[in-house]
Structure 1
């Protein structure tokens, strides 16, 4: 299980360091129902990661993902494909980065966050976790890594739970600041939001490149060994 966690923690950290969801949760916390909406958004995020990770595990575990304590060929091919996908997204993000960070614009849908019902806030958290161009490949890769290790079911569940907890830290920190920080929390979170908004594209591009190369290397290693 220890060897699997080495891979899983790297993927989880990549999910956690996501400027866009951090901006989204800060905007959610600034709504009139900030406390409730922030918790619902975070729970939705956790659910999205759990469902996607569990589906991947359900597919990987009985599909001969591990052969003789070595990942099966399809696991290597999957990691290779996910790595290439992330590199593609990284190149696209890098080309789209603004020359002046202060001119960076947030997605239009973020302007409607203050009008979302609690149910839609929950759905937004779920979607950003499970359908995001970076988070989905990393969660699938984590599930494949766990499933390909030939672990008992209990250890698979524990590994996925650790992945989800680490991957949620990017939201838990702003939520904790809001719930415990009082009035000063609004200023702190506002500064975080401004920084994340200005550097979102560049940060995402670098993450796409780094994580894409990691998955590419893992996939080549599996396929050639």
Structure 2
């Protein structure tokens, strides 16, 4: 049987699955690298002079973020011999916009990246529903199994949530620049939001979806299905 570069469809026979803990670590790891590099940019530039040529802390963080994304995708390939769709899309956008950020020395591109990614995910999820496809199953099928109606409803809700995140990124970025003025302080506020606010918001949103998941689960979740 030939291997697929992109992960197989949910519930595909013989699909290689990754540990949920490892999957979470690979998704969160690059963000932590980004935060650390931005907060310790000056120290990193002093310790590794080659990094100083990239620019200020945000530019150093961008370069290391790109490297971390490539490493995370490489680990996914080694473990499952496939590439997960959403991290692959995210990684592609990070490399393109991160590359533009470094090349043009303009932080606008890396700050636009979350909005572009969330807009792409929203478009894919909501657009897929128009063609009868619930693409969210690619992301969560290792965590739980739902019937078709459940995947449709959950996909629609996640699509709207990604729209919310896309808009929120622009709002935080612009408000920080307006309040502090463009510079490192405003950059730090935006990075803190990206690393420490988006994940809790996502976890809270996921928790609000548990009733829907329990109603449409086809397999027990944490015990006997009601």
Q: Quick check: TM above 0.5?
A: no
- Structure index of larger Rg: 2
Greater RCO, CA 8 A, separation 6+: 1
TM-score, scaled relative to structure 2: 0.33
